[in-house]
Structure 1
C-alpha cells in the first residue's frame, strides 16, 4: 500500500552491490509509490487513479541485479508528483499561479499532453488538480527531488565509466497492456527505446532484443516509446555512455486493475535475470567509443 507521509525521507535510494561486476547501471525512476500527504490533499483524484501512472513493481522485477553486481537506483516519490524523466523545467503555465522562470520549456509536446515535469493529468487525461498550484510549489519539487535525483544518477554513471571505461544504463519502465480506448490492439511484451539508434550502440539493443525473443517475448523498437529525457540526455555512445529504455508490458506480471502481482511475477523476474546476464557478456572493448561511433 502507498504511504502518505508529510515528507519524503529518503526520496530515492541506490542499492549497491557488495562488489561491482561490470559497467551496468539500472534505474527505475517511475516505480515510486510514496505519496506525500499534502499532495493527496491537493489532488482531486483518488489514490487508485493516481497510481495508474506508476511503473508498479518495476524496481522489484530488476532487484536481482544487485546480487549480480550492479547498482539499482529507484525513486520512492510518484511520477505524477514530479517526473525525473523530463527536462527539469518542462512546465505548463496554465497550471500555476505566478510567473514561471524564463528558462522553463512551456511548449514541449509533453507539456502539451499534460505530462511535463509536474504532470497535469494521469490515466485517460484525468486532471490531477482542481485549482492552480503556486509556482513555488513546482520549483520546490524540482529543487528537492528532481535535481538531487539527477545528481546521484550522474555520479553513478560517471563512477561506472571511470571504473570500467564505459557505462551502460538500463532505464526500466512499464507500459499499460492496452494503449487506451482508441487503441485496442495488444501491445508488444517489451519496447526497447534507443532514440532510433542514437542513445546506445546497436550491440546493446540487439543483445537485449535477441535474448528476449529467445525467451518468447514479442519485442518492439522505439514505437511508441523511443526513450524519454534520461535516455536522450545521458545516452552518448560516442563517449562510451550507452542508455537503453526498457518498457515491459504490465499485463505480463500484474493485475492492472487491482495493482497486484500475478502468478507469472517470479517467472518474469527470472527472465529479466537472463537479460541482465546477456548484457554482462558484452565486453568493454565492444562498447568503447571508437567502436560505437563507427557503427
Structure 2
C-alpha cells in the first residue's frame, strides 16, 4: 500500500441509475493485505483479519439493485480506520513527533483503535516495531482524506438531487456482543448517536423492520455509531446517518472467517430489509415540508 496506491484502495459501486436518496458505505470490509503490511505485522494472515467486517459489502449489495451507490474500502481496517477522526494517533506507535493537532488522548486511541490502529480485536498487537510517523501521515493524506472526500461527494450529490439524503454505514460485530444489563445477543444494532444523527422515524423504522423479519435488535447499545455517523448526520439539514451492525455469527464462522451455510439467507433478509427501509425512507421524505412545497 504505497502512497501512489491510494486511489485504488476504495471504489464506488454505482447503480445503473440512482433512484433513491440513499448512500451505502462499507468502510471496514476491505481485505487487501499487502505483502509490505504483513511483513510489518507480528500477526499471521488470519489473526490480522480479526477487526475486519467480512463480506459486509456483499450483504448490503441489494442497495445497488434498488438504485443506491455504495462506497467500499479495499484497504483493511487494521491498516487504516476511516471511522475515526483523521488524526486519532497513539504516539507510542511511532518514531518521530506527531503534529500538534493530533488527538492523542481519545478513548479510542487509549484502546489501541485509533486512525492507524495498534491492535486488532482480542487485543492483539499488530506491529513488530514502531512505525515512522511519516508512514501514518501518508496513509491519512493518501487514503483517509480521499476516502472521505469521495463519501462527501456522494452524499452532497444525493442531497442536491433529492433535497434529502440518508447514509447507511454498514458494519459487523462479534457474535458474543451483549447489550449492557442483559443476557441477549442482538442480531442487529441500529446506531443513530442517541437520536442526533438521524430522524427518529428512520431509526425506529429500521428497528421495526428487522424485528418484523424475526431478528433481535438493539438501538445504540453498545454501538451508537462512530465518527462517520456522527460527522455526516445532520438531520436539521436533511442529512441523516445510521449505523447498522450485523452479528457475524449469523453468517460466518468466526474462527475461520468463512461463510456459513446461512449466508444466503442473511443476504436475502438484509435485501428485504433494504427494500422495506427505502420505502419508509421515501414516505418520510414525502412528509417533509420541503417535499410539499
Q: TM-score, normalised by structure 2?
A: 0.93
- In 2, Cα distance between the equivalents of 1:179 and 1:232? 22
The residue number in structure 1 matching 2:144 is 146
| 8 Å CA contact 1:238, 1:290 repeated in 2 | no
Q: Secondary structure at the match of 1:47?
A: coil
Q: After the TM superposition, which residues 1-295 of structure 1 pair with which residues of structure 2 at under 5 Å, given as runs? A: 7=5, 10-179=8-177, 185=183, 187-282=185-280, 286-287=284-285
List runs of 5+ in structure 1 lacking aligned partners: none
- In 2, Cα distance between the equivalents of 1:8 and 1:153? 15
| 8 Å CA contact 2:191, 2:242 repeated in 1 | yes
| 8 Å CA contact 1:30, 1:173 repeated in 2 | yes
- In 1, Cα distance between the equivalents of 2:91 and 2:286? 43
Classify 1:50/1:184 alpha carbon distance in 2 versus 1 (closer, same or farther; 3 Å).
farther
Classify 1:128/1:171 alpha carbon distance in 2 versus 1 (closer, same or farther; 3 Å).
same
- In 2, Cα distance between the equivalents of 1:291 and 1:92? 46
Q: Secondary structure at the match of 2:87?
A: coil
Q: Output one character per residue of 1:124-171: Cα deviation in whole Å (capped at 9) or x when no partner.
A: 111111211100000011111101100000000000000011000000
Classify 1:22/1:260 alpha carbon distance in 2 versus 1 (closer, same or farther; 3 Å).
same
- In 2, Cα distance between the equivalents of 1:32 and 1:114? 19
| 8 Å CA contact 2:202, 2:281 repeated in 1 | no
Q: Secondary structure at the match of 2:23?
A: strand
- In 2, Cα distance between the equivalents of 1:70 and 1:119? 30
1:288: Cα distance to partner? 8.1
Cα RMSD for the two superposed structures: 2.3
List runs of 5+ in structure 2 lacking aligned partners: none
Q: Secondary structure at the match of 1:77?
A: coil
